[in-house]
Each structure stands twice: as structure tokens, then as C-alpha cells.
């Protein structure tokens, strides 16, 4: 534990966590107008601090070694990206308030009045990799939903994240909101990550955003409740009743509009009855995309690489698409059930019964009919931003906006009711 | 791992888990009428098997050593208790169906139609101690919500649990439902428990019901998502604006109606302005209850044991009540914030503003106004039964009925929508 920064006898991690926990109850009962004013001030402050943020980012980039060009690009900030970040905070601030929303309510036979009301989770933790924009998005969603947040980014983005957080909390402070609500963890070591995952009694939820190594570490070491933002091995199934032009447009969009993200398609399943017409059509439009197919696919398109079992299980995050011809909708569903990571699964069909069967039979965070998997995103679905995309089934599934950071409190009102 | 029973090369635990996972998708798309018919048949079958269940229970009781009389009582079954179990299954079957319920829905500016629909979690696991009725309650709630379940009870209740499960699945089978939906884990060793907690990719949620040792083991070893059924250090706060007769009735009920359960009160907080009138009144009615109080309480009631900090932190689960006089509502809320386990907290008051402030300021699964904490129970709240009472904030808070065993799937319908 040598890498840990200490404040007195407790680590800096624990100190900021305790300060966040201490500050949160005041925010929980603050009016929504105050939370929104704080966010708008944070957006203004982030814009105003762009020089400092860019300088910190340059320092991070100079320090960074051994990054691929994609990783460098993810880490890099510029003025337009800072503007996107600030606008994102404003988008979150403009969402309807989730705190205090009554989910459900009823009156028992004995006259007790029961309601279920949305309340903040408390203290949210996020562990993330080289994407400085997560700092602003996650903090904005947490404050919007009445939560405190602890940010634990990567060592490579440390200065950038710190500068964004500084600006953000300066904005909050202008509206009288406590900077401790957005705690910044300085310790980016592996030991520090494990300490963070074990802040029992302080962290109400941990959202890890990162690769399989991080997820595995969380599964092994976390002792606080976790929402897993896992892989997206997403499928598009082209049914025999599909409009083939529509299907080709959806497949191309789902695979190529941004291949490196979790809601991009990784496998194309095609009903045998339309494979002969569809596969050459879509292959011609999948420019620059490597296809890995089963034997029937290989027979219909030139230059297809034979697909292994592993290809169907993998998230390529690249311009590679696995392809398989299936004899029925049932076979498509069975394939998806076997290989899906529970993220986003799409069917293209004009057949109502097929659509209904697919929607019911496929178990994933999102099931789409005649739409690209790329829409499974907090911003696209109208949440303003997202703190992650849950691929687990507990608590929240799919893109997580402010509502995903709330719990539900039972409020029970009586007139002196006692149990007999 | 010597204690593990093996079926071929996989353990019995893993074998039943995989069988449950295999069987669940069929149940997930089965109509609600079939699930309910299966449950009604299970209730009939449990009643019909009472001789076999009682014989198994006698064998468990004969084998059991070193149990306290309370523990023996918990383990013991008789005809009335079996009838309660069967009636509980029927109560769950008579609840409105939770599967397929549309939680939310909207249309995006681009015309995409989004809805959020309740779906089963998949495979639910429950680890529990010497209460055979949990076998029937948990299985009923799981089947009602379209889930498979894995039951892992204690070694001392093994024969009883097995007999109840046998009857239950025989009932399901009469309606064509697969007995594998209710998996029974034979391995009750500690190693077996750890294997169970680590059934990644099979268990969608684990509900541990038991003491601090079990909860700690789950926090340390579980790699699957967990809902913690934790302690209940519940408070009743008697406000200065309370109806004192009502307050006394609520305190007596909350403490003494069943002292050994998690929703019983453990600490009484009394506003200083009413302490002199209220404390002697309630003390006279708390027959057979030991009081441990602060100095002001000691000055007002005879025979009060001085309370330590630890007394305020403890769940007595006994006829002992900690008492403290506070100078304000704020002080009561601060005390609760410090010592609450997040289960159930009650205020007794006629003052609307005080009630509102308490409800907003106290962070617990259930907050009650002018009602006994004993109502925080799945049966009392109308859920038919409960698989546990969640004291965590993630996924579900408070008593968990069938709805707590569901997740929400995003269904997104377009007309060939692609993202630009």
C-alpha cells in the first residue's frame, strides 16, 4: 500500500470518501432548482477553465507512454471537446428531476398508505480509464440525482481529470454546493483501486468503466454493490421477412458508424431464405470491413475468412464482422442466447410475429426492431448523458442516466397503526 | 473441496445451476396463467406431502445438535406451519403478474419508440439458514416472476428443505413446468457456499438471508450480483408533537410484538419536551422489557441500565430497548443517520412539517409515520410473501416480493432508423 497518499492516519481515498458521505445528505434534501443551478454554473466554470484544462491535458499527453493512437485520441482534449463536455452538463441539468418522483403507491386494507419514492443512492463511485469526459458526465449525473460522487480515473488522465473536477466544483460552490460532493481520488495505483472497491459503508454503488481486466478485478475484490458496464457482443438478425435495403443500412450503420464502441454490431445473422439476396448486397456496402463467416456465407460472398467459434464470442471493437446463416428465427435466438453479452440485440423484419418473438426471446439490456444497435446510448435515448451502460440485470439495465443513480424508499403513513 | 458432491466432472451445485439456467428461458416466455397454475398445483402438492415433509423434519430435528430453543423452534414444522406455507404459495399466485409490465415509455424526436418492460432476472440464488418455509416462499416468488431459483439452505434443515422442494416441483410438473426451475443445492459446506457465490454467468442475483457471518462471507467471496438482507437497527422517534398514547402503543408494538425479527424496534428516541410525560407512560407498558438509557432517561424512569454507545449500534433481537432523549428533530435524525442500518425508521407526530422533514431526512428502506416498524414485511405490504428485506440501496430496498426479482428491458422500435 506504499503508493497510497495519506491525510493524517487515513488514506486520501478514504478521506475524500468520508467527506463526500458527510456532504451528501444536505444535497439529498436540497431543492431540484439548486442542483440544476449548480450544474449550470459548473458548465460555465468548465468553459471558463478551458485553458487550464487544456494545459493539464497537454501535460498528461507528454507524460503518457506506450499509448496506441486510438488511446491517445481518447485522452486528448481540445476546445470543441471541452464545449461538448460543458454542453453535456447543461443537457443533464435540463432533464426532468428524478428525485422525489413517486414510482408507485397504494392503500392497504388496514388503511396504511404506502408510496415508493425515488431517492438518491448516496455516494456513487466510478472507476474509469483514459476518457476525461467521464469526469464531467459522471459528476453531472450524480449531482442531478442528489448523489455525491467519487471519481477515480486513470493515472494517464490524472491532470486532465483533476483540472475538470476543479472547474466543476468551483461552479457548484458558486451556488453554495459543497465541493466535497465531487470527491477526486488521487491514488491511481492497483492497491488504491482495491481500497476504493472495498469502501463498505461509504460507497453505495460502484460503476467500473473499463476493459475485462478492470471488470475481473472488480468481481474479485469489490465488497460494495457494483453495476457492471461490460462488453457488447451485439447481433443484428436479418429475418426472412426483412426489407433488405433497410437491413443493409442498419447492418452498415451498426458495424461501421463507430466500430470501436460497445453498441457496435459484432455478428450478423441472416435467415437462409434471404441469404443469397442479402449477403452480396450488404457485403458490397460494408466497405473496408473484414467478414468472417460460416460455410454458407463463404459460398455466397468472395473473400470471407472462415469464422471460428471464438469469432462469434468476441467483441472485435474493429472493422470486422462475424456472419452466420441460420435456418430459422429460433436458431437466431439460440445463437444470441449462447453468445450475447446482454447488451443490445437487433432484428430487422416486417413480420409482427417474428418481431414479437425476438423481443420476448432475447435477453439483453436492449432489444431493437428495425433500428441500429448504435442507438443504445444515454444521450440518444434522451438521458442527457450516461455514467455507463449496464450489462447486468440487477438495479438497472442499459444506458445509465440520472434515474439509474436513484433508489426507491418506502414511505408508510398510518394513524397509530400497530400490528396484531 | 472434498465435501462437494459431483455429477460427472461438474459439482452437483453447478449441474443444478446449469439445468436451472437452461430451463428458465421457456418459463420467461410462458403465459402468466401457466406460472400461476403451476404455483397453485405446488401448493396442493405441498399440502398433500405433509407426512413426508414432517418425517423429514423429524429426522432433521433428531440430527440437529447444539441448537438453542429458538433455533429449534425455527427449524420445527407442524401441520399448521405447512398449511401457512401452502397458503403463502397461493397468496403469491394470486398477485398481479409483474412480468411484461411496462414501466415507462416515450417516443424520441427521431421517431424511435422506446419502452421499458419488466422481465425476469433469470436465475435467482438464495442462501438461507434454518427456516424451511423460505424454501417454499422463495420458490413461489421466483416462479411467479418467471425466474428459475437455486435453493441453498442449511445443513440442519437439509431433509426438510429437500422434501418441500420435492413436493413443490411435483406440483409444477403437473402443469408441465420443469422441475429444474427449482434447483436444490445438496452441498451445505462452507466451500460449497463459496462455489455458489461464484457462479458467474449463471446466477443473476444472490440473496443471502442470515447472520453477520454469512453476510461477511458474501461480501468477501461473492462474484455474482448480490442483494444484502442485512440487520435491522430500527428506531422509533417520539416527536414533541406526538399523541403520547398512540406513541406508546406504537413503541410497545414495534418492540414487543415479535422482538426477535429484523423489523422490531431497537432504540427509542424521545423529544425532551415530552420525555417527562412519555417515558414513565411507555415504561409501564413495556412489560418484561429491559431499558438501557442515557442520563436523562435514567432520571425519569427507575431501573434503567445506563446505555453505552454500543447499545445504540446493536440489533438486540431481544426484549431490550435502548432509549435516548433528544433536544430536537434534527438531533433525532442525526442519531438515526449515525446508527441506522437502513431498515425501518418511524416517527410519531401530529406535526405535518416534522413528519415531512423526518421522511426526507432519514435514509432507510422504509420510513414510517405514525405506524409500527413491524409493518415493513412483504406479506403486510401486500406482496404475498418476501424472499428477504433488502437493506442495500441498489436494485431494491425493503421487502422483496416478485417485482424485486425482475429487471427492466429496453425495447426500441424503429422504421429502419440508423444513427448519423
Can you state the percent helix, strand and coil of chain A, rounding each to 5? 45, 20, 35
Indicate left, alpha or beta for A359 from its phi (over 0: left) and psi (-120 to 50: alpha). alpha
Q: Do B371 and A417 touch (CB under 8 A)?
A: yes
What span, in angstroms and rounded, lies between the C-alpha atoms of A406 and A210? 22
**Are A105 and A131 in contact, with CB atoms under 8 Å apart?**
no
- Provide the pLDDT for residue B7: 57
Cβ atoms A216, A249 nearer than 8 A: no
Chain A residue closest in CA terms to B338: A22
Scanning every residue of chain B, which has its alpha carbon at the shortest distance from the alpha carbon of A205?
Answer: B394
- The distance of Cα A382 from the centroid of its chain, to the nearest Å, equals 14
User: Is B235 in contact with B268 (CB distance < 8 Å)?
Assistant: yes
pTM of the model: 0.92
The distance of A394 to chain B (nearest Cα, Å) reads 6
Contact B371 A414 (CB under 8 A): yes
- pLDDT above 60 for B2: no
Neighboring chain A residues of B30 at a CB cutoff of 8 Å: none
Q: Closest chain B residue to A338 measured between Cα atoms?
A: B22
> Residue A171, SS3?
helix
Nearest-CA neighbor of B262 among B337, B338, B209, B307? B209
Spell out which residues of chain B touch residue A112, defining contact as CB-CB under 8 Å.
371, 375
Residue of B nearest to A246 (CA): B416
Q: What are B265-302's pLDDT values in tens digits?
A: 999 999 999 999 999 999 999 999 999 999 999 999 99
Q: Do B418 and A369 touch (CB under 8 A)?
A: no
Closest-CA residue of B relative to A30 is B360
Given an 8 Å threshold on Cβ–Cβ distance, is A414 in contact with B253?
Answer: no
C-beta atoms of A29 and B360 within 8 A: yes
Joined grid coordinates for residue A157: 488522465
Query: Lowest mean pLDDT: which of A343-347, A406-410, B387-391?
Result: B387-391
- The pLDDT assigned to B220 comes to 85
Could you say which of B243, B250, B413 has the minimum Cβ distance to residue A371? B413
Task: List the single residue in B with minimal CA-CA distance to A27.
Answer: B361
Binary contact (A367, B411; C-beta < 8 A) = yes
What element of type H or E holds A255?
Answer: helix A244-256
Q: Under an 8 A CB cutoff, do B374 and A246 touch?
A: no
pLDDT by residue (tens digit) across A22-74? 999 999 999 999 999 999 999 999 999 999 999 999 999 999 988 888 889 88
pLDDT digits (tens, 9 = 90+) for B90-147: 999 999 999 999 999 999 999 999 999 999 999 999 999 889 999 999 999 999 999 9
Q: Which of B82, B245, B237 is nearest to B164 (CA)?
A: B82
Beta strands in A52-211 (DSSP E): 102-107, 113-120, 123-128, 148-152, 182-184, 205-209
Mutate: best of B118, B381, B390, B414, partner A, most A CBs <10 A: B414
Residue A131 is placed in which grid cell? 476518457
- Name the residue among A2, A390, A17, A413 with its Cα closest to residue A201: A17
User: Which pLDDT band, with edges at 50, 70 and 90, does A1 fall under?
Assistant: very low
Q: What CA–CA distance (Å, rounded) separates B192 from B175?
A: 32
Q: What is the mean pLDDT of residues B395-418?
A: 97
Confidence bin at A399 (pLDDT 50/70/90)? very high
Report whether A386 contacts A400 (CB < 8 A). yes
B-chain residues near A409 (CB < 8 A): 363-367, 397
How does the average pLDDT of chain B come out, rounded? Answer: 95
pLDDT 10s digits, B366-392: 999 999 999 999 999 999 899 999 998
Contact A204 B393 (CB under 8 A): yes
A374-397 b/e (C-beta count within 10 Å ≥ 16 → b)? bbbbbebbbbbbbbbbbbbbbbbb
What are the beta bridge partners of residue A209?
A128, A229
Q: What average pLDDT does this structure show over A316-322?
A: 95
- What three-state secondary structure class fits B391? coil
> Residue A101 region, left (φ>0) first, then alpha (ψ -120 to 50), else beta?
beta
CA distance, residue A15 to nearest chain B CA (Å): 18
Asked if B315 and B232 touch (Cβ cutoff 8 Å), the reply is yes
C-alpha cell at B386: 418476501
First to last CA, chain A: 55
Helix/strand/coil for A274 = helix
Q: A403: which 3 cell numbers?
A: 434515474
Question: Which chain B residue lies closest to A245 (C-alpha atoms)?
Answer: B416
Q: Which positions in chain B touch A415 (Cβ < 8 Å)?
A: 370
pLDDT tens for residues B210-258?
888 888 898 888 888 889 888 899 999 999 999 999 999 999 999 999 9
Among partner residues A114, A396, A398, which is closest to B381 by beta-carbon distance? A114
The count of other CB atoms within 10 Å of the CB of residue A337 is: 14
Provide the pLDDT for residue B67.
Answer: 87
DSSP A226: B
Task: Give chain A positions within 8 Å (CB) of B25.
Answer: 337, 361, 363
Chain A hits for B418, CB-CB cut-off 8 Å, are 249-250, 252-254, 257, 371-372, 374
Option in B371, B413, B419 nearest A374 (CB)? B419
- Sign of the CA dihedral B216, B219, B223, B224? positive
Distance to chain A for B408, nearest Cα, Å: 6
Please give the helix or strand (H or E) that residue A9 lies within, else none.
none
Question: Phi then psi for A86, rounded to 5 degrees?
Answer: -65, -40
Which residues have CB under 8 Å from A295's CB, separation 6+?
A306
**B243 and A416: CB-CB below 8 Å?**
yes
Closest CA–CA distance from residue B195 to any residue of chain A (Å): 13
B120 CB-contact burial (10 Å; exposed 0-12 / middle 13-18 / buried 19+):
buried
Pairing status of strand B344-348 against strand B234-238: parallel
Q: Is B122 left (phi over 0), alpha (psi -120 to 50) or beta?
A: left
CA–CA separation, B135 and B115 (whole Å): 34
Chain B residue closest to A29 (CA)?
B360
- Taking an 8 Å cut-off on Cβ atoms, the answer to whether A225 and B226 are in contact is yes
Are B137 and B398 within 8 A, CB to CB?
A: no
Backbone angles phi, psi at B28, to 5 degrees: -60, -35
Residues B21-65 have pLDDT tens digits of 999 999 999 999 999 999 999 999 999 999 999 999 999 999 998
- Whether B8 has a pLDDT exceeding 90, the answer reads no
Of the listed ranges A199-208, A246-255, A367-376, the one predicted with least confidence: A199-208
Identify whether the C-beta of residue B409 lies closer than 8 Å to the C-beta of residue A366: yes
A192, with CB counted inside 10 A (0-12, 13-18, 19+), is buried
Per 3-state DSSP, chain B is made up of helix, strand and coil in percentages (nearest 5) of 45, 20, 35
- Chain B CB contacts of A375 under 8 Å are 112, 412, 414, 417, 419
Confidence category of residue A8, pLDDT binned at 50, 70, 90: low
Residue among A168, A169, A165 at smallest CA distance from A185: A165
Euclidean distance between CA atoms B140 and B39, whole angstroms = 7
Average of pLDDT values for A177-192?
Answer: 96
Asked if residue A7 has pLDDT above 60, the reply is no
Q: Distance (Å) from the C-alpha of residue B236 to the closest C-alpha of chain A?
A: 13
CB contact under 8 A, B219 and A219: no
Cross-chain Cβ contact B112/A227 below 8 Å: no
pLDDT digits (tens, 9 = 90+) for A121-142: 999 999 998 899 999 999 999 9
Mean pLDDT score of chain A, rounded to an integer? 95
Q: Is A417 in contact with B112 (Cβ distance < 8 A)? A: no
For residues B201 and B330, the model is more confident at B330
- Tell me the CA distances in angstroms from B194 to A48, A214, B7, B206, one per residue in order: 52, 22, 18, 12
In 10 A of CB B109, how many CB atoms?
A: 6
Which cell numbers in the block locate residue B246?
398512540
Q: Which of B147, B198, B409 to mutate to test the interface with A (most CBs of A within 10 A)?
A: B409
Strands A148-152 and A290-293: unpaired
Give contacts of B250 with chain A, Cβ < 8 Å.
416-418
Dihedral sign, CA of B39, B44, B47, B52? negative
Check A419 against B219: CB less than 8 A apart: no
**In A, which residues are within 8 Å of B119 by CB distance?**
363
Task: With cut-offs at 50, 70 and 90, classify the pLDDT of residue A392.
Answer: confident
State the Cα–Cα distance between residues B280 and B289, nearest whole angstrom.
Answer: 13
Smallest CA–CA distance from A116 into chain B, residue: B366
Q: Do B414 and A371 touch (CB under 8 A)?
A: yes
Nearest to B418 among A108, A250, A366 (CB): A250
The ipTM value here is 0.93
List of domains in chain B: 10-227+400-413 (3.40.605.10), 234-375 (3.40.309.10)
A244-257: pLDDT as tens digits: 999 999 999 999 99
Q: Is the CB of A250 less than 8 angstroms away from the CB of B410? A: no
Chain B residues whose CB is inside 8 A of the A419 CB are: 253, 257, 372, 374-375, 380
Q: Contact B414/A380, CB-based, under 8 Å?
A: no
Cα B87 → chain centroid: 18
What's residue B143's pLDDT?
Answer: 98
Nearest CA in chain A to B206: A394
Q: Measure B62 CA to nearest chain A CA, in Å.
A: 34
Q: Do B418 and A374 touch (CB under 8 A)?
A: yes
Percent of chain A with pLDDT over 70: 98
Give me the residue from A28, A253, A418 closest to B250, CB to CB.
A418
Number of CB atoms found within 10 A of residue B111's CB? 11
For an interface test with B, which of A219, A222, A343, A363 has the most B Cβ atoms less than 10 Å from its Cβ?
A363
* Cβ-based contacts under 8 A for chains A and B: 209
Amino acid at each position: 500500500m506504499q503508493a497510497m497518499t495519506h491525510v493524517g492516519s487515513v488514506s486520501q481515498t478514504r478521506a475524500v470518501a468520508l467527506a463526500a458521505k458527510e456532504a451528501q445528505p444536505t444535497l439529498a434534501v436540497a431543492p431540484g432548482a439548486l442542483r440544476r443551478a449548480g450544474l449550470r454554473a459548473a458548465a460555465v466554470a468548465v468553459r471558463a477553465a478551458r485553458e487550464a484544462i487544456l494545459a493539464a491535458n497537454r501535460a498528461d499527453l507528454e507524460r503518457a507512454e506506450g499509448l496506441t493512437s486510438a488511446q491517445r485520441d481518447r485522452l486528448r482534449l481540445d476546445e470543441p471537446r471541452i464545449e461538448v463536455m460543458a454542453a453535456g452538463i447543461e443537457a443533464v441539468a435540463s432533464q426532468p428531476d428524478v428525485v422525489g418522483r413517486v414510482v408507485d403507491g397504494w392503500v392497504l386494507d388496514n388503511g396504511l398508505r404506502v408510496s415508493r419514492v425515488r431517492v438518491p443512492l448516496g455516494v456513487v463511485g466510478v472507476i474509469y480509464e483514459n476518457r476525461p469526459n467521464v469526469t464531467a458526465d459522471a459528476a453531472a449525473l450524480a449531482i442531478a440525482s442528489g448523489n455525491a460522487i467519487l471519481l477515480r480515473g486513470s493515472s494517464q488522465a490524472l491532470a486532465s481529470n483533476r483540472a475538470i473536477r476543479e472547474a466543476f466544483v468551483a461552479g457548484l460552490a458558486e451556488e453554495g454546493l459543497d465541493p466535497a460532493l465531487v470527491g477526486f481520488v488521487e491514488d491511481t495505483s492497483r492497491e488504491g483501486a482495491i481500497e476504493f472497491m472495498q469502501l463498505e459503508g461509504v460507497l453505495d454503488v460502484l460503476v467500473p468503466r473499463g476493459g475485462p481486466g478492470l471488470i475481473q478485478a472488480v468481481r474479485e475484490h469489490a465488497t460494495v454493490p457494483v453495476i457492471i458496464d461490460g462488453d457488447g457482443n451485439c447481433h443484428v438478425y436479418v429475418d426472412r421477412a426483412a426489407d433488405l435495403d433497410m437491413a443493409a443500412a442498419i447492418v452498415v450503420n451498426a458495424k461501421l458508424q463507430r466500430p470501436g464502441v460497445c453498441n457496435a454490431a459484432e455478428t450478423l445473422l441472416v435467415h437462409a431464405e434471404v441469404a443469397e439476396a442479402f449477403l452480396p448486397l450488404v457485403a458490397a456496402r460494408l466497405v473496408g470491413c473484414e467478414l468472417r463467416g460460416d460455410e454458407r456465407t463463404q459460398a455466397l460472398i468472395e473473400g470471407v475468412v472462415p469464422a471460428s467459434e471464438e469469432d462469434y464470442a468476441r467483441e472485435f471493437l474493429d472493422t470486422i464482422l462475424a456472419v452466420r446463416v441460420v435456418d430459422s428465427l429460433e436458431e437466431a435466438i439460440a445463437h444470441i442466447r449462447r453468445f450475447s453479452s446482454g447488451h443490445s440485440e437487433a432484428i430487422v423484419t416486417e413480420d409482427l410475429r417474428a418481431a414479437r418473438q425476438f423481443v420476448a426471446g432475447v435477453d439483453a439490456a436492449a432489444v431493437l426492431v428495425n433500428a441500429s444497435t448504435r442507438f443504445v446510448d444515454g444521450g440518444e435515448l434522451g438521458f442527457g448523458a450516461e455514467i455507463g451502460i449496464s450489462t447486468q440485470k440487477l438495479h438497472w439495465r442499459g444506458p445509465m442516466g440520472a434515474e439509474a443513480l436513484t433508489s426507491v424508499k418506502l414511505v408508510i403513513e398510518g394513524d397509530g397503526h400497530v400490528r396484531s
